[in-house]
Amino acid sequence: MLLPQQSTVLRLSLALCAALALSACSIPRLQFPGVYKIDIQQGNIITQEMIDQLRPGMTKRQVVFVMGTPLVRDPFNQDRWDYVYSYQPGGGIRGQERITMFFENDMLTHFTGDFKPTEENTAGATTSSPAAPSNS
């Protein structure tokens, strides 16, 4: 038989153990020192050079040659392709880049997303000037 004093100590000990056990479940980001976390890359790597090669009127095969196979081909809209790239450095914040291509009659009409063509390539794609005659 337990004395009232022992019973109180036992109850407090059990309550303390239960509180510690429950609080361990609610620690949001428990960091163990020395644990290596890998970098995570997913999707298609998209570069500005790839975007600068795109021109309206390119066929789907030409776009695949420049950009690679799209990550998402919308089954309900065959004229829309999505290229998504995400990167999360080990233990860091995830970044994401996205490009959506739109086609009409299997020809690229336009694209939207996180990249834009550079100024010199946009001007070169939309205007063409005749070659200057050579004097030699």
In the chain, the number of structural domains is 1
d(CA 120, CA 122): 6
Q: Which helix (H) or strand (E) covers residue 95, if one does? A: strand 95-104
Number of Cβ within a 10 Å radius of residue 111: 20
Q: What is the pLDDT of residues 101-131, one digit of tens each?
A: 999 999 999 999 887 777 665 543 433 333 3
Q: Does residue 21 lie within any of the structural domains? A: no
Query: Does residue 60 or residue 36 have the better pLDDT?
Result: 60
**Residue 2: what pLDDT?**
61
Domain of 106: which CATH number?
Answer: 3.30.1450.10
Q: Which residues are CB-neighbours of 102 under 8 A, at least 6 positions away?
A: 79, 80, 108, 109, 110, 111, 112
Q: Does residue 24 lie within any of the structural domains? A: no
Q: What is the pLDDT of residues 58-97, one digit of tens each?
A: 999 999 999 999 888 888 888 999 999 899 888 788 888 8
Q: How confident is the model at residue 30 (pLDDT cuts 50, 70, 90)?
A: low
Please state the rounded mean pLDDT for residues 25-46. 75
**Residue 126: what pLDDT?**
36
Q: Does residue 90 lie within any of the structural domains? A: yes
Q: Does residue 4 lie within any of the structural domains? A: no
Q: Which domain holds residue 76?
A: 40-122
